[in-house]
A = this chain, B = another copy of it.
Amino acid sequence: MRRFKLLLEYDGCAYAGWQRQLNAMSVQQRVEEALRRLTGEGELTITGASRTDAGVHALGQTAHFDSDTAIPAEKLSFALNTLLPDDIRVRHSQEVSISFHARFSAIGKEYRYWYYAHPHASALYRNLSWHVIYPLDLEKMRREAMTMLGTHDFAPFAASGSVVKDTRRTVDAISLSEAGPFIELRVHGNGFLYNMVRILAGTLAQVGSGKRAPGAIERALETGSRLELGATAPPQGLTLLRVDYPEELCLPPT
């Protein structure tokens, strides 16, 4: 049995999210179906780094699986792409040490969120951005975003019903940039609570449009109250860009 790592890109529009579900199609199911067909291993399952939600996209989701396949690791991506629908692509495949785990070995993640701030929605980018009809003040959003930096108990940023016990995370990079009607938020940290980036994106939009007073994030982190933050921003603006691992874990076994 060998362990393999996949780098995955997908358009989340048509899926009920990453995770396999009983009554809806997931990205995980599609990739598992392709892998089972390719290897003939009917019990094969894959583990993803991040359980992206329905409608959320990925350019750098990472997953692992174990298999006895004789297919060379670097050929797996090409073989899988012939079996996958065109809204899911394997960008890279490799063999890794059996101690690599897509979720538990991850030491960092980067997400981006795209706002489209214009009186009219975008036709061409409607599935890649959140249409915000009111003007957004980029400088206000930047100042607010900076207060996310550092190690905090991000409990108020966790979706209600979340079962994670340790809600401390470190955000080590955050930036906002503008191109025409688009605003791009990028955030990197050692991990994110369920819905954390979308609650952040929703809060920044409210501060940027003047619907919420600046300092909302600081107040939420101080008081622990979800009520200090904005509504969860819609999924289609969010893309998982990258998952980081310790380099030594990504080397093929010797």
Chain A residues packing against B (C-beta within 8 Å): 9-11, 57, 59, 77-78, 81, 86-91, 118-124, 126, 128, 239
Decide: B77 and A123 in contact? CB cutoff 8 A: no
Can you list 15 residue pairs at the A/B interface with Cβ under 8 Å? Answer: A9-B123, A11-B126, A59-B124, A77-B119, A77-B120, A78-B120, A81-B121, A86-B121, A87-B126, A89-B122, A89-B123, A91-B118, A91-B120, A124-B128, A124-B239
Decide: B59 and A126 in contact? CB cutoff 8 A: no
> Could you tell me the distance in whole angstroms from the C-beta of A130 to the nearest C-beta in chain B?
14
Decide: B10 and A89 in contact? CB cutoff 8 A: no
CA separation between A219 and B239, bound complex, in Å? Answer: 45
Residues of chain B lying within 8 A (CB to CB) of residue A9: 122-124
CA separation between A122 and B88, bound complex, in Å? Answer: 8
Residues of chain B lying within 8 A (CB to CB) of residue A128: 124
> Which of A78, A126, A239 has the most CB atoms of chain B within a 10 A radius of its CB?
A126
Residues of chain B lying within 8 A (CB to CB) of residue A88: 123
Residues of chain B lying within 8 A (CB to CB) of residue A57: 124
Decide: B124 and A90 in contact? CB cutoff 8 A: no
> Could you tell me the distance in whole angstroms from the C-beta of A40 to the nearest C-beta in chain B?
23
> Could you tell me the distance in whole angstroms from the C-beta of A135 to the nearest C-beta in chain B?
16
> Could you tell me the distance in whole angstroms from the C-beta of A59 to the nearest C-beta in chain B?
6
CA separation between A245 and B62, bound complex, in Å? Answer: 49
Decide: B239 and A90 in contact? CB cutoff 8 A: no
Decide: A10 and B120 in contact? CB cutoff 8 A: no
Decide: A120 and B81 in contact? CB cutoff 8 A: yes
CA separation between A182 and B89, bound complex, in Å? Answer: 16
CA separation between A90 and B87, bound complex, in Å? Answer: 28
CA separation between A88 and B122, bound complex, in Å? Answer: 8
CA separation between A90 and B122, bound complex, in Å? Answer: 9
Q: Which 7 A-B pairs have the closest CB atoms?
A: A89-B123, A9-B123, A10-B123, A11-B124, A87-B123, A11-B123, A89-B120
> Could you tell me the distance in whole angstroms from the C-beta of A182 to the nearest C-beta in chain B?
12
> Could you tell me the distance in whole angstroms from the C-beta of A115 to the nearest C-beta in chain B?
16
Residues of chain B lying within 8 A (CB to CB) of residue A124: 9-11, 57, 59, 128, 239
Residues of chain B lying within 8 A (CB to CB) of residue A81: 120-121
